[in-house]
Structure 1
Amino acid sequence: MFKIILFVGLVFGVSYADKIDDLKNSCDKGEAKTCRDLAYMYEEGRGKVYKNKYKAIKFYKEACDKNDATACNRLGVIYRDGINVKKSYFRAKKYFDKACDLGNNMGCIWERKIQKNKIKDILDSK
């Protein structure tokens, strides 16, 4: 019985590693959504991937660079709230602006809130 369980574990473990490699290859080829999916997996530690804040941010940035509005918005939240990075309203506004330009309504809402409040970090960072 132990051998069967070990065999099944090895087969599914290898196939999952292949799936991660497929996602990374797809991201490298320009698929923004797969970059965002990888970012989420690393941010939350989902799908047999250990949490890794640096990889999460890296993949969110790749997705945003490829014009994924949701990824840009998430980066805005990360910098606005200082999630695993130094809080920066200037960077948050930059990512919210891009998310808004790409049609993400939450990006528009947060960009306006930051602009309306004229948060000091934005003015000091120019």
Structure 2
Amino acid sequence: MLKIILFLFLVFGVSYADKIDDLENSCDKGEAKACRDLAYMYEEGRGKVYKNKYKAIKFYKEACDKNDATACNRLGVIYRDGINVKKSYFKAKKYFDKACDLGNDMGCIWERKLQKDKIEDILDGK
């Protein structure tokens, strides 16, 4: 029984390693969704990878550069909220704008909210 459990553990462990390699190869070949999937895996520590905020942001940027609207929106949230990065209104706006331009409705909503909040801050003297 122990041999069966060990065998299954090794098989599934290798399959995750293969999946990471496949995603990295696909990302390198220009597949935006593969870059976004890698980013999510590193952001959340999924699929036998450790959380790595730097790799997550790197892969989200690669996906966004390849016109993945969801990745652009996620980068907007990351910079708006300062998730493992310094908060940046300008970077958040840039990524929300791109997400919106690519057809991501949430990017449009967040961009408008960001604009509204910035105007309110200016009017309040902040």
Question: If the length of structure 1 is used for normalisation, what is the TM-score?
Answer: 0.89
Percent identity (aligned): 91
Runs of 4+ aligned residues of structure 1 deviating over 3 Å after TM superposition are 119-126
Aligned pair in 2 of structure 1 residues 124, 67: CA closer, same or farther (>3 Å)? farther
Deviation at 1:60, TM superposition (A): 0.4
In the TM superposition, what is the alpha-carbon distance from 1:3 to its structure 2 partner?
2.5
Give deviations 1:16-65, integer Å, cap 9, x for gaps. 20111001100110110111111111111112221111111111000000
Q: Offset of 1:117 from its aligned partner?
A: 3.0
Equivalent-residue separation in structure 2 for 1:125 and 1:73 (angstroms): 28
Q: Size of the alignment, in residue pairs?
A: 126
Unaligned runs of 5+ in 1: none
The 2-side partners of 1:22 and 1:120 are apart by 46
Query: Which TM-score applies when normalising by structure 2?
Result: 0.89
The alpha-carbon deviation at position 125 of structure 1 amounts to 17
- After superposition, give the CA deviation of every residue in 1:80-117 in whole Å (9 maximum; x if it has no partner): 00001111111000000100110111111111122233
